[in-house]
Amino acid sequence: MGTQVNEKHQDKQAYQDKQAYQDKHAYLDNAATTRVFDSVRDIMMQTLEEDYGNPSSMHAKGINAEKYITNAKNIIAKNLKVDAKEIVFTSGGTESNNMALIGTALANNRTGKHIITTNIEHPSVHNPLIFLEDCGYEVTYLPVDGNGKVRMDKLEAAIRTDTILVSIMYVNNEVGAVEDIEAISKLIKSKNANTVFHVDAIQAFGKFKIYPKRLGIDLMSVSGHKIHGPKGVGFLYIRDKVKIKPIIYGGEQQKGMRSGTENVPGIAGLGKAVEEIYTNHDDKIANLYELKQYFIDEIRKLEGTTVNAVDLPTLRETAPHIVSVSFDGIRSEVLLHSLEDKGVYISSGSACASNHPGLSGTLRAIGVKKELLDSTIRFSFSVNTTKEEIDFAIEQLSEILPVLRRYTRH
């Protein structure tokens, strides 16, 4: 009888151990999106269930709804050290980038039609510029070095008297390269003081303390769901007196800069996310860099791995949350799904372009070997990422890689 009880106990324990193992997972795709903070969820529920008025309505429900917008705008302005009137809420990073690029081009077309960008920009910058080229604008695409840094000599040579706009991302979404935004701005303004400088800060906001006026930024795009806020909301910082036209017309909300009933739950959630991400910010980022260094050290122990765009004096010269790794002899899509089966969630590049398969222009631009272009994975962390998740991911990789390579060789 005692033996049967013991066997049942062992079976139950084995089942529990198996379930615990199966429940393990590592979400390392935070550059694609993040889990919302609990406080973000709570304030959004409040606006959905209680304070659900239209912020344009004159009654109490509308006034209460408008207060959420004002509060969020003040939180963002305080963290950027700008005026609240310089913040325009949008549906996210893509709309912010489109508004910045197309709106600036339309407002300044009598001054010139020359625009400068880099060859490692996100599709939400690259594709609007293709549209503007079709409309008669000229776009210069700057090269970058092996770490994804803009070639400053090429930028200086490209700026002309008819250059109306320069758009350069703060942090590259695929490899985590960080541009020297202040130096870039100073160079632009020294060559042409009238050129508008736009920064796609979608992967940088929340990871760095960004003060647009100090850095010389005229326009800056931000997205909520990269910083534990909701999807479908973001903002564009527009420095006072910058010439820009709206690209959405309607009921004149947000002083006509972006018409349409405001997304109150999203805006409230965004404000709360900004408030929380910048609380004890230095500690959060220091922890992220520690996790990144640990991850790089561990993944380099695995055979046939190359960490991209980190050939710099210190890791602090890269973004704290993105690591690009190439794996010899394994297609990224195969590795992605093999890891997914084990509960490890990662990306093969920009999630926003995942429905358009193709080899990354960013990887080509930084000089990744041709045979590794289709063998590169992006791992990305957040303030929620734990060392245990990284250990779990490395454990799964150490088991999967030899198997996949044997299969590939056959």
Q: The dihedral of CA 57, 60, 62, 67: what is its sign? A: positive
**Residues whose CB falls within 8 Å of the CB of residue 257, separated by 6 or more in sequence, listed in order:** 88, 238, 244, 246
Mean predicted confidence (pLDDT) in 266-270: 98
User: Is 290 part of any domain?
Assistant: yes
Which CATH number goes with the domain that contains 322?
Answer: 3.90.1150.10
What's the average model confidence in pLDDT over 255-265? Answer: 97
Q: Is residue 107 part of a domain?
A: yes
Residues 302 and 179 placed together within one structural domain of the fold = no
Q: Is the pLDDT of residue 153 over 90?
A: yes
Helices (H), 135-256: 152-158, 181-191, 212-215
The pLDDT of residue 264 is above 60: yes
pLDDT score for 18? 46
| Domain match, 211 and 325 both | no
Alpha-carbon distances, residue 385 vs 25, 35, 204, 290, 305 (angstroms): 11, 11, 17, 11, 22
Q: List C-alpha distances in Å: 107 to 112, 158, 246, 377.
A: 10, 21, 9, 40
Q: Do 245 and 98 have their domain in common? A: yes
Residue 204 covered by a domain: yes
Q: Are residues 212 and 222 in the same domain?
A: yes
- pLDDT of 356: 45
Is 131's pLDDT higher than 70? yes
Does residue 12 belong to any structural domain of this protein? Answer: no
Task: Name the CA radius of gyration of the chain, rounded.
Answer: 23
Tell me whether residue 36 is exposed, middle or buried, using C-beta atoms within 10 angstroms of its C-beta: 0 to 12, 13 to 18, 19 or more. Answer: buried
The parent domain of residue 405 ranges over 17-37+280-409
* Sequence letter at residue 274: V
Q: What is the pLDDT of residue 218?
A: 98
Across the range 378-397, mean pLDDT stands at: 98
Task: Select from 221, 254, 277 the last residue of a domain.
Answer: 277
What is the count of structural domains for the chain? Answer: 2
| Integer Cα distance of 198 and 194 in angstroms | 13
In a domain, 3, yes or no: no
User: Is the pTM higher than 0.85?
Assistant: yes
If asked whether residues 266 and 363 sit together in one domain, one would say no
Note whether residue 224 is domain-resident: yes
Residues 375 and 268 in one domain: no
- Higher-confidence residue of 354 and 163: namely 163
d(CA 344, CA 174): 18
Do residue 28 and residue 52 come from a single domain?
Answer: no
Q: Is it the case that residue 116 has pLDDT exceeding 90?
A: yes
Q: How confident is the model at residue 360 (pLDDT cuts 50, 70, 90)?
A: confident
Using DSSP bridges, classify how beta strands 322-327 and 376-380 pair: parallel, antiparallel or unpaired.
antiparallel
Indicate the residue among 277, 304, 336 that finishes a domain.
Answer: 277
Question: pLDDT-based confidence at 12, cuts 50/70/90?
Answer: low
pLDDT at 4: 56
Average pLDDT over residues 125-145: 98
Q: Is residue 2 part of a domain?
A: no
Query: Do both 163 and 261 map to the same domain?
Result: yes
118 Cβ contact partners less than 8 Å away, ≥ 6 residues apart: 141, 142, 143, 144, 150, 168, 169, 365
Average pLDDT, the chain: 93
Token pair 């209460």 is at which residue?
Answer: 64
- Per-residue pLDDT at 348: 86
* Integer Cα distance of 176 and 79 in angstroms: 23
Q: Taking residues 291-299, what's their average pLDDT?
A: 98
What CATH code is carried by the domain that includes residue 61? 3.40.640.10
Burial-class residue 175 by CB neighbours within 10 Å (0-12, 13-18, 19+): buried
**Is 135 known to be catalytic?**
no
**Percentage of the chain lying above the pLDDT 90 cut:** 90
Residue 409 has pLDDT above 80, yes or no: no
From 260, 277, 294, the end of a domain falls on 277
Q: Are residues 350 and 336 in the same domain?
A: yes
23 and 49 inside one domain = no
Residue 8 has which token pair? 């049942």
| Structure tokens given for 166 | 């320069």
| Cβ–Cβ under 8 Å, residues 347 and 354 | yes
What's the CA dihedral at 248, 254, 255, 257 to 10 degrees?
A: -30
E-strand stretches of 305-395: 305-308, 322-327, 344-345, 376-380
Which residue in the list 352, 359, 373, 404 is annotated as catalytic? 352
Residue 4 lies in a domain: no
Residues 177 and 29 in one domain: no
Q: What is the pLDDT of residue 357?
A: 46
Across 122-151, average pLDDT:
98
Question: What's the pLDDT band for 410 if we cut at 50, 70, 90?
Answer: very low
pLDDT at 21 over 80: no
- pLDDT band, very low/low/confident/very high, at 349 (cuts 50, 70, 90): low
Residue 5 scores a pLDDT above 90? no
Both 75 and 176 in a single domain?
yes
